[in-house]
Structure 1
C-alpha cells in the first residue's frame, strides 16, 4: 500500500495519541480506488484533531468521480473543501464526515462534529470548519447533512407553497429528503416517483405518496427532478401542470441528456429551473451564510424516521472493495454509511 507524504513529517508527528495510522480513500483512476496512508499533523491553535466515526458516500457525485465523468470545465468548481489531488485522478474526495474531537479547540474537545471532509479515519482541520452535531441528531444520521443541504437549497429554488401538489421524480436520498421537507408544508400532497417499486415502503415511512412512472400524477404545482436520467426528466415534464416549474437537481457530469422542449412545452409555459447546492439562491445571499444553511439542514435531521434512508453499512477497511457495487447506477443502495474501526491502514 502506497503513502502520500509531501510534508517530511516523522511517523511520530503523523500519529496523535496512539490513534490509528492516518489513512484515506483515494480515487486512483477510472473505476479504481484504494486506501492509502496519508501524512498528518497535530492541531495548531484554531484547529481540531478528529477521529472519524462515520462518513457518507454520495452515490451521485462520487459515482461521477469514480467513473472519471467530471468534465474538465468543472474541475475547479467541483473541488471538495478538503480535497487533495486534482481531477481527473488521483483525488481524495468526499464531503460528509462525522467524528469525535480528540484535541484542539477546548470548546469542541469531546464533541461529535460534522465536517465536509473526505473518507479518512483521523484528520486535522480548522475548528470553524466543524459543526457540532445537536443532541437530537444521531452521529449516523448526521452524515445526511450534506444531502439535506441540497434538498433545502432545492426547496428555496422551487418555492413550493402550502397546499401544493408536489412531485419528486427520483427516489434516491436527495429526492426523498426533498420530498420529506416539501411534505412538511401545511396541506401539501407530495408524491415520489421512481422505477424501483421497493422505494414505496421508504416513501410511505416518510409520510409521502409513491407511484411508478406509468402511474405518476399529472397537473402538479411544482416538480423536482433528481433521477439523473433522460427518462426521469421526461416524466417530470409530463407531471407538471400548466405554468409549472420543474426544478432540475440532477447533475450529469460530462454526459448529455435529451430533453423534449418541443410539443407542448412552450404552449404550456413550463419553466425549467436549475438547482445546485454550490451556491445559495441570489435573493438569500445577503442574509444566509453557508454556515447558517448547514445548521438549518442539520436541525432538519432530528426526526428519527430519517434513519430508514441508511440502508447499507460498510467497514472502512472494505471500502475499496464495496464502492464499485455501491456506486453502480443499478444498485439498490440509498445511503451507504462508512463505519470506522480501530485499524492500521
Structure 2
C-alpha cells in the first residue's frame, strides 16, 4: 500500500479541506487498512467542525486517532470501515471497523480494529460506533419488559436506541421528533412515531437525544411519577436550561447522563470495550439499521458536504464512499 493517504481536516472552525498525510511504517503488531466507507456523526462531528468543543472538554472529547488539537486544525472522526491489506494472517483481507477519522488509508494497532462479521455489509458496518453508543445507553437506562418508553430526538443515536428497543416484549416505544419525515424511519424500525405535542405521556423511561432545550423539557413532561430521563445529548459549549420546576419534584423525576466513553457501570465488571464493539457489529446484521443511512457521498466531496451539513441539511447518517 502507498505510504501516503488523503485525510479530511478541519482547517479552522467552519472550513475543512482534504490534505495529504504520511503513513507510519507498520510494526509487527499493526495493520494497514484501505478505507472502504466512513460515516459522519452529525452531532459530535458537526460540533467539532463548528469549533464548539469547550476548552474544559478538549481532553475528554479526543477521538482515538485524532490528529491536532481543538478547535483546529484537527483531523477528527470515528466511524470507518476498511480492508486489512497488511497485518496478522487472521485479519489480512478482512473488513474491519475502526474508530478512525475520514482518511483513505491508515496504520493502527491490530487491537484497535474489530472484524466485521460476514453477515454484515461493510456499508452498514460504519454505524457500529452509533449502535455501540445505543447499547451503552440501554445498559445505563435498564429498560424493563412492558415499559412505556419515549425516545426524544430522531437522529442517528435516537433511531439506533429505538431500533434496539423495538423487539423487547410488551414495550411501547415511540420515537418523538419535530420532523414529520422521521415517521417513515420509525416505521422501518418497527416503532411508533409522534410529533412532540402528540407524544404519549406517563412514560416509565425517556431517552433524550435531541440536544435541544425543548427536547429535554418535553422529555421531563412525558415521564410518569418516579420516571427517569436518560440524557444522551452532548451540548458542547451551549448551556441548556433545565426545567426543574412544575412537577419535577412532586413527580420525583430523575435525569441521568449516559456517555459511551466508559462502559456502563452495570457491565464494567464483565464487558470490555472490544466486547461492546463486537456486540454492536453483530447487531448490525439486522437490516432495519439500513434505514439510518439516508445519504451517500464521495470522499472527495467532504469539505463541501461538511459545510452543507453544518448549515442544517436534513437527514440522518451520511455514508462516505472511497
TM bracket, shorter-chain basis? over 0.9
Q: CA deviation at 1:136?
A: 1.3
Counterpart for residue 316 of structure 2: 334
Counterpart for residue 31 of structure 1: 14
Superposed CA offset, 1:31-83 (max 9, x none)? 01110000113322011111000001011001110111101111011110001
* Aligned-partner Cα distance in 1 for 2:38–2:153: 23
Mapping of residues 1-345 of structure 1, within 5 Å: 16=1, 19=2, 21-328=4-311, 330-340=312-322
Q: Secondary structure at the match of 1:110?
A: coil
Q: Secondary structure at the match of 2:136?
A: helix
Q: Secondary structure at the match of 2:44?
A: helix
* Aligned-partner Cα distance in 1 for 2:93–2:38: 18
Q: CA deviation at 1:85?
A: 0.5
Paired residues, number = 322
Counterpart for residue 10 of structure 1: none
| Greater gyration radius | 1
* Aligned-partner Cα distance in 1 for 2:42–2:3: 27
Q: CA deviation at 1:283?
A: 3.2
* Aligned-partner Cα distance in 1 for 2:310–2:64: 21
Superposed CA offset, 1:262-283 (max 9, x none)? 1110000000011111111223
Question: Which stretches in structure 1 are left out of the alignment for 5+ residues?
Answer: 1-15, 341-345
Contact 1:42–1:49 (CA under 8 A) maintained in structure 2: no
Q: CA deviation at 1:20?
A: 8.6
Contact 2:4–2:23 (CA under 8 A) maintained in structure 1: no
- TM-score (normalizing by structure 1): 0.91
Question: Which stretches in structure 2 are left out of the alignment for 5+ residues?
Answer: none
Deviating more after overlay: 283-292 vs 48-57: 283-292
* Aligned-partner Cα distance in 1 for 2:121–2:89: 22
Q: Secondary structure at the match of 2:266?
A: helix
Contact 2:3–2:22 (CA under 8 A) maintained in structure 1: no
Contact 2:228–2:255 (CA under 8 A) maintained in structure 1: yes
* Aligned-partner Cα distance in 2 for 1:311–1:283: 33
Q: Secondary structure at the match of 1:260?
A: coil
Q: CA deviation at 1:246?
A: 0.4
Q: CA deviation at 1:184?
A: 1.9
Q: Secondary structure at the match of 1:191?
A: strand
- TM-score (normalizing by structure 2): 0.98
Superposition CA RMSD, Å: 1.1
Q: CA deviation at 1:21?
A: 4.2
